[in-house]
Amino acid sequence: MKRILLVAISAISIITLVNWRGPEATVEGNSKHKVNFSGKLITHQGEEYSVDNISIGNKYKQINMYDKPSKHAKAGFNTESKRREIQLDTNPKTDLTVTKIDLSEIKELQIPEPNTVWIYQKKKKHRKLKFTEVIVISKSDTKRHYILERKTKIYCDEIDKAGPVEKIVPLPAIDRLIIEGYSFRNGVVGGAQATKPAAAP
């Protein structure tokens, strides 16, 4: 009798754990945040999209950006990659000032030189860390220059009458990302489903 009871309790526990999940994320981990940022995305190819559910690296708060070093090597052309490269002699992750940016503070984000790669490599056989220059214009029109990991992606949903179209945009593809506003949503939903005017998140 005790064995049957133990098996029943175990089965109920497993079923409960399987069904007890937090907010559902999409394939790439782009969860729908409680604060829905909207605006315009303009690519270097000249495409323009009205978008919402914007996040940088799947974050809308405390986004790590490294202050662009004022002293650095001149850009050189790499014949293999066909890109301009700037060699860094310090590791941005450990040796540069980190600024934590919130999307609620940003008016516009620009990628001025998408084909220029900032590279740090400790030794020849070590992994290369790659960065891209980012210009952040605040709501008070202050312009600051940072470098951000090149592999960072912008997640957003293109606003479409038929329903939201999820987009994953590599950082170097972006010309300008304009933040026009934000609002809170009632639940964890996608696309242009935001409701309620919001106070600063």
Cβ atoms within 10 Å, residue 105 = 15
How far is the CA of 16 from the CAs of 13, 86, 128, 174, 183, in angstroms? Answer: 5, 53, 44, 43, 33
State residue 142 phi and psi, 5-degree precision.
-80, 135
Using pLDDT thresholds of 50, 70 and 90, give the confidence band for residue 83.
confident
Residues 25, 97: Cα–Cα separation, whole Å: 32
Is the distance from CB of 2 to CB of 151 less than 8 angstroms?
Answer: no
The pLDDT of residue 199 is above 90: no
Mean pLDDT, the chain, rounded, equals 81
Q: How much is the pTM?
A: 0.74
Is the distance from CB of 95 to CB of 74 less than 8 angstroms?
Answer: no
The pLDDT of residue 22 is above 90: no
